[in-house]
Amino acid sequence: MPKFRRMSGIDDAVAQFMSSHPVTLDTMVRFTTLLKFLLPLFVLEGKSYLTVSIGCTGGRHRSVYVAEALRKSLGPVEGARVHVRHRDMGLGS
Q: Is residue 66 part of a domain?
A: yes
pTM of the model: 0.84
Q: Which domain holds residue 57?
A: 2-74
Domain count for the chain: 1
Q: Is residue 88 part of a domain?
A: no
Q: With a cut of 60, say whether residue 65 has pLDDT above it.
A: yes
Q: Is residue 56 part of a domain?
A: yes
Comparing CA positions, the residue from 65, 62, 69, 64 lying closest to residue 87 is 64
Q: With a cut of 70, say whether residue 44 has pLDDT above it.
A: yes
CB 31 within 8 A of CB 70: yes
Residue 13 pLDDT class (50, 70, 90 cuts): very high
